Amino acid sequence: MKIYHVPCLQDSYSYLIVDESSREGAVVDPVEPEKVLEAANSHGVNLKLVLTSHRHGDHAGGNEKIKQLVPGIKVYGGSVDNVKGCTDKVQNGDKVSLGADVNILSLHTPCHTKGHISYYVTGKEDEQPAVFTGDTLFIAGCGKFFEGTAEQMYQSLCVTLGSLPKSTRVYCGHEYAEKNLQFALTIEPDNSRIQQKLTWAQNQKQAGLPTIPSTIEEEMETNPFMRVDLPALQEKIGCKSPIEALRELRKVKDKWKG
Ligand code: GBP
Ligand code: ZN
C-alpha cells in the first residue's frame, strides 16, 4: 500500500491510502474534498471509501461534499459519533477491505469524542502497518477530553493503541508536534529522545515538511501521555497511578501557554 499526506485547513491532514494493484483508494477525514480528489487524480486512484475519525467539522466536514463529487463512495464513521454523511457505521473490531491487499480494522478510541474511531491498516506481509489516530493520539500528545474521562483515554491511548505492533506507523489528524514536544520537555527535561525529536520537528517545519508519520515505539519513548505507566513520570507530576497521571497531564496541558 501507499499512503499520501493531503495537507488541509491550517494544520490538518487528510490521508490517501492506496491499494497499488487495483489503484483503489480510501481517504481519511477528507475535510477539503477538492484537494483529496486532486491528489487521487494525480496518482491515478479510484476513490472507494472515506474513513472518518470523529464527528468534528475539521474532520467530517467534507463528507457530504465528497459524496456529491464521488457518487457511490462509502463513508465510514463511529456508530455513536453522529458523523455527517455517514453511510456505514462501524464499531470496535469491524473490518473493511480495500482492493486486493489492504485491510482496515476499526478501533474504538473514545474520550476526545464518544464515538472516535482509529483505523489500523495493513498491506502486504512485508509492509509496516499504519494507524490513523485522528484526534486521539497526536505526535507527542493526545486530544482534549471533550466527551470522556481519563479512564477512557488511558484505555484508548495506552491499551488499545499501545498494544499495536511497535513498528506501526502513526498518522494523526493535526500537525501539533512542535508544541507538543515543547510541552513534553517541561515534563521530562532530561529525556534526550524528546530533545532530539523537537530539533528534528523544528527542522521539518522550516523545510515545509510534515512530522508525520511517527511510530508506536517512538511515541512510547517521547509522548508523555503514553508514558504514564512509568513510576518516574508519575512521581514527577505528583501522582500515584497511571490514570491519575493522565488526568493531571491533560489538566496541565490545557492550561499551558506554550
Ligand atoms: C494548538 O496546540 O496548536 N491550536 C492549538 C490547539 C483538536 S482540534 C487547538 C486544539 O484545541 N486542538 C484540539 C486538541 O484536542 N488539541 C490537543 C492539545 O491541544 O493538546 N476541534 O477543532 C478540535 O478537536 C474541534 C472542532 C473541537 C469541533 C470541538 C468541536 Br465541537
Ligand atoms: Zn477533534
The reply to whether ligand 1 has any atom less than 6 angstroms from the CB of 84 is no
Query: 3-state DSSP: the chain helix, strand, coil percent, rounded to 5?
Result: 35, 25, 40
135 is a catalytic site residue: yes
Q: Are 258 and 196 in contact (CB under 8 A)?
A: no
Contact in structure between 170 and 213 (CB atoms under 8 Å): yes
Provide the residue ranges of all domains of the chain, joining segments of one domain with +: 2-255
pTM of the model: 0.98
Question: Is 5 among the catalytic positions?
Answer: no
Residue 197 CB less than 6 A away from ligand 1:
no
114 lines ligand 1 (CB under 6 A): no
- pLDDT digits 0-9 by tens, 18-29: 999 999 999 999
Element (H, E) at 133: strand 130-134
Element (H, E) at 181: helix 177-187
Residue 258, pLDDT score: 82
Q: Give the per-residue pLDDT at 141.
A: 99
For residue 183, the ligand 1 atom closest to its alpha carbon is 20
To the query of whether residue 43 is one of the catalytic residues in this protein, the response is no
Give the three cell numbers for residue 41: 487524480
Residue nearest to atom 22 of ligand 1 (CA): 58
Q: Which residues are found with C-beta within 5 Å of the ion, ligand 2?
A: 56, 135
Binned average pLDDT, 10 residues per bin, the chain of 258 residues: 98 98 98 98 98 99 98 98 98 98 99 99 98 99 98 98 98 98 98 98 98 98 98 97 98 95
Determine the atom of ligand 1 nearest the C-alpha atom of 180: 20
Helix H or strand E encompassing 250: helix 242-255
Q: How far is CA 164 from CA 105, 116, 149, 188, in A?
A: 12, 17, 22, 24
**Protein residue with its CA nearest to atom 11 in ligand 1:** 144
Instruction: State the fold for domain 2-255.
Output: Metallo-beta-lactamase; Chain A (3.60.15)
Whether ligand 1 lies within 6 angstroms of the CB of 58 is answered as yes
Ligand 1 contact, 135 CB (< 6 A): yes
